[in-house]
Chain A
Amino acid sequence: MHSTPANTEPGAAAAAPALELKQLSVGFPAQAGFTTVVYELSLAVRAGECLGVVGESGAGKSQAFLAAMGLAPRSAQVTGSVRLSGAELAREGGALRRVRGAELAMVFQDPMSSLTPHMRVGDQIAEVLVRHRGASWRAGRRRAQQLLERVHVGDAARRLRQYPFELSGGLRQRVMIAMALACDPVVLIADEPTTSLDVTIQAQILALLAELKHAGTLAIVLITHDLAVVAGLADRVAVLERGRLVELGATQQIFAAPVHPATRLLLRHAQVQAGRESRAPPPRGAPLLELKDLAVRFPLRAPAWRGRRFVTALSEVSLELAAGEALGIVGESGSGKSTLVRAILQLVRATAGEVIWLGHPLQQLSARALRALRRDLQIIFQDPLASLDPRMSVLEIIAEPLRLHRAQLTASERETAVLAMLARVGLPEELAQRYPHQLSGGQCQRVGIARAMILKPKLLVCDEPVSALDVATQAQVIELLAELRRESATALVIVSHNLALVRGLCDRVLVLYLGRVLELAATADLFAAPLHPYTRALLEAIPVPDPALQPARLATALAGELPSALSAPAGCVFHTRCAHAVMVCAHTLPPLEPGGEGRLIACHRWRELRDAHGATAVRTGYSS
């Protein structure tokens, strides 16, 4: 159903919208004729307003705005009109170049590939001013510093002289926004600006965009696949499906009473992301896996005369995992999550402590004995395509563990087993002869799961199993993992920065920060009442699909970023960002102490904070 077109909104006559698309169509010549990816899209956004443009991948949301900016691929055919502050925008040539980047600015998903690697950040921002405003380089750099301060980059003067690779993902995205703001644009188009960032940093960037919106002069177009992201920011939401505008309305209305099935589906995805808990009671028994004071240090490359230096990726991690249990490991990027699972699997050598598997310390095993044990310890990876050998067919990939551990099988027995496994992960038999690059991301991840599960391992480690997949596929893969868990007695260790995934699948959750355990608790307890301030901050950073709640949540987003592991803070590792830090936190490392019901927590003040917060749970979505 089509809702009211934008240009008949009340008040349209008062002033021309900042950006107005009228009957914009984008198409590409294809093998069989012509494919249209955007059909007659009409949208408008005015100054001080944020328009959310939402749709699944392939809905044409990016294509529409790339075309509006004149950035569509050369083969694209674009028709319709694009008006900027009431004036028709040229489709190409010098006139467009002058407008693009000055009045019409864009921020992309991946800030690393949008910044030039060999240029200092300050020069890149200054270049925009030199190019568009004819400013001198001196003036440009001075303004660059002001811009960085405006987007809340701390220590802006020093950042100006750094190169993009020296900055974290969140800082790079801030730099991109500063660059987009350089010429005081009329419209800022943000295309999935937070998709590749941690939840905490996502909340910070969204808060920054909200602040820019409230300044009142800028019109913001926020393109995303995640309705929860637009909830705190957008005034109106446009929903696209397969190139068509299917619903447009005020944000409140879209969330409260979605009309089109596509909108409802997106809303359902957003809610799945936001919650739904694993209710299974944590199984108890003899521990399958035990970690004792595990630590991992990596040597640093440094000149010989400075001595060997190390970076500590993991310190004093102790843990017991029961057979069949599911443990979630959460934390921001750089918290040591991946190092921990690689140390468990002996893919990374622990520098101290022990990994005990069914009573055997793994580090003391011979290489041959360890290889034999690996049949019970399997892993699935973050990037499904990269984890499959591009030169092997699906059949060969899934059969490999069988070749290694059950060499007595004949080729046809192996094939039968693989085909059965394919059916179990929901893939058709024909796929067996295909190669990884011929599969979709979701199919690749299923192949990875099939390879890991074919030997019926006792432990399956999942390293960010869904973060490289789009939302609809994520839900399917999560469902598959839950199903496999119900059917087999496999224990799971799930590493993710996606707390919702952990919540849906895990019995217990381990919160890591700079390589240290801050909190360990049963999932339900952790989500109901997080005891550590960091856990609370992480939970509060998850966007909720609720326009009434989300703005307030953005306003209280956890500040700052994970410190470098090279200069880990003394005392409590989290004290530099903690809102409740006191003197003692800065010099004394809090012990990991029991907090009742099998919980462990490392915070000096958790008791008083618990009493202060009382029973107030963190709102993590509709289900709580």
Chain B
Amino acid sequence: MSSWARLKGNRTVLVAGGALVLLAVLALLGPALSPYALDQLDWQHLAAPPGLTSGHWLGTDRLGRDLLVRTLEGVRVSLVIGVLATAVSVVIGVAWGATAGYLGGRTDEVMMRAVDVLNSLPYLFLVIVLTTLVGRGSVSVLLLAIGAIGWITMARIVRGQALSLRHREFIEAAVAAGGSSAHVLARHVVPNLAGVVVVYAALTLPQMVLFESFLSFLGLGVQEPLASLGSLVRDGAKDMQSALWMLLVPASVLIGLILCCNFLGDALRDALDPREY
């Protein structure tokens, strides 16, 4: 049975994947279809609870902004940042880890010590310094900060895999056939890492979303009037004693999003793990 068939045969995948796709589509199209704009204030319904009568299905916040639109917007921002940060970490991590692992020896040692040094820096502190220097709310700085964390673990995992691939006979066969290191890396090592990379990327995505939300929750991330799930949860938390829905709506969406990503990642790992054959 191919991994694709096994993936399709898994009900968790269908449910989690379907929910994820639905959420992504809603996040992309929803705000355009809604009568309310992201920063539109509705003075008639300040802090309105969820319901159909007010016209705000999921209620409004203290300023009368529609919570549904803001939550969908938050999903969009979180997903975009999560996906981009994952992509950044995959590209850097695979290139770094595969090179270190395949070449081995002194190169490997130098490259992996560099990773160790980066990993031992206090990240939050760095992010705070970075955001205050460049100015808060810059999405590119946010991406840089998040991606910079993600690739380190990716590089370690990829390096371990590449190290074990290095001694496989088909790699030796490619070297014996006259392939240069670059050729062997690009044609034989990286393609054979694909399974591990896909799985780990799928598990990195929710981490990235969560980390972005965490930064936004601390006020280091996306700034008003833009919203991400993290900043919405922060705003909601301020009013949780009087208006619990302001916290519950973005928080439950965030949890759902991350759960779906995790389920999908786990299922991918099961489907692609060659040891399961």
Contact = CB atoms under 8 A, between A and B. Distances in A.
A405 to B, nearest CB: 6
A389 B171 CA distance: 8
B178 A379 contact: no
B176 A379 contact: yes
A404 B177 contact: yes
Interface of A: 345, 347, 367, 371-375, 377-379, 381-383, 386-392, 400-401, 404-405, 448, 451
Contacts of B240: none
Contacts of A391: 188, 191-192, 194
Contacts of B175: 347
A401 B177 contact: yes
Interface in B167-182: 168-170, 172-180
Contact of A404 (B169, B178, B188): B178
Contacts of B176: 345, 347, 374, 377-379
Which secondary structure characterizes the binding site on chain A? mixed
B113 interface: no
Please list the 7 inter-chain residue pairs (A to B) with the smallest Cβ-Cβ separation, ordered nearest first. Answer: A374-B178, A387-B169, A391-B191, A386-B169, A371-B178, A389-B170, A381-B169
Contact of B172 (A371, A375, A381): A381
B183 interface: yes
A346 to B, nearest CB: 9
B94 to A, nearest CB: 15
Interface in B140-183: 168-170, 172-180, 183
Contacts of B168: 386
B4 to A, nearest CB: 14
A146 B178 CA distance: 55
Which secondary structure characterizes the binding site on chain B? helix
B178 A405 contact: yes
Given A371-B179, A386-B169, A387-B169, A400 B174 contact: yes
Contacts of A378: 176-177
Nearest to B176: A379
B179 A404 contact: yes
Interface in B246-270: none
Contacts of B191: 389, 391-392
Given A386-B168, A389-B192, A404-B183, A451 B173 contact: yes
B196 to A, nearest CB: 13
Nearest to A372: B178
- Among B169, B174, B188, max chain A CB count under 10 A is at B169
Give the bracket for the number of chain B residues in contact with chain A.
Answer: 10 to 19
A451 B174 CA distance: 10
B173 A381 contact: yes
- Among A377, A386, A389, A401, max chain B CB count under 10 A is at A389
Given A379-B173, A400-B187, 11 more contacts: A347-B175, A367-B180, A371-B178, A374-B177, A386-B168, A386-B169, A389-B187, A389-B191, A389-B192, A391-B192, A400-B179
Nearest to B180: A371
Contacts of B192: 389-391
Contact of A383 (B169, B183, B187, B194): B169
A381 B191 CA distance: 21
Contacts of A377: 176
Given A379-B173, A400-B174, A451-B173, A389 B180 contact: no
Contacts of B178: 371-375, 401, 404-405
Interface in B210-257: none
A499 to B, nearest CB: 24
Nearest to B171: A389
Nearest to B189: A389
B88 to A, nearest CB: 25
A368 to B, nearest CB: 8
30 contacts: A347-B175, A367-B180, A371-B178, A371-B179, A371-B180, A374-B177, A374-B178, A378-B176, A379-B173, A379-B176, A381-B169, A381-B173, A386-B168, A386-B170, A387-B169, A387-B173, A388-B170, A389-B170, A389-B173, A389-B187, A389-B192, A391-B191, A391-B192, A391-B194, A392-B191, A400-B179, A400-B187, A404-B178, A405-B178, A451-B173
A388 B179 CA distance: 15
B60 to A, nearest CB: 53
A270 B187 CA distance: 42
A387 B168 CA distance: 7
A345 B194 CA distance: 30
Nearest to A461: B176
Contacts of B170: 386-390
A443 to B, nearest CB: 16
A374 B175 CA distance: 9
A232 to B, nearest CB: 35
A347 B172 contact: yes
Nearest to B178: A374
A404 B175 CA distance: 11
Nearest to B192: A391
Nearest to B173: A387
A371 B180 CA distance: 7
Nearest to A381: B169
A435 to B, nearest CB: 10
A571 B79 CA distance: 71
Contacts of A448: 173
A405 B176 CA distance: 12
A178 B168 CA distance: 34
B104 to A, nearest CB: 13
Contacts of B174: 389, 400
A381 B167 CA distance: 13
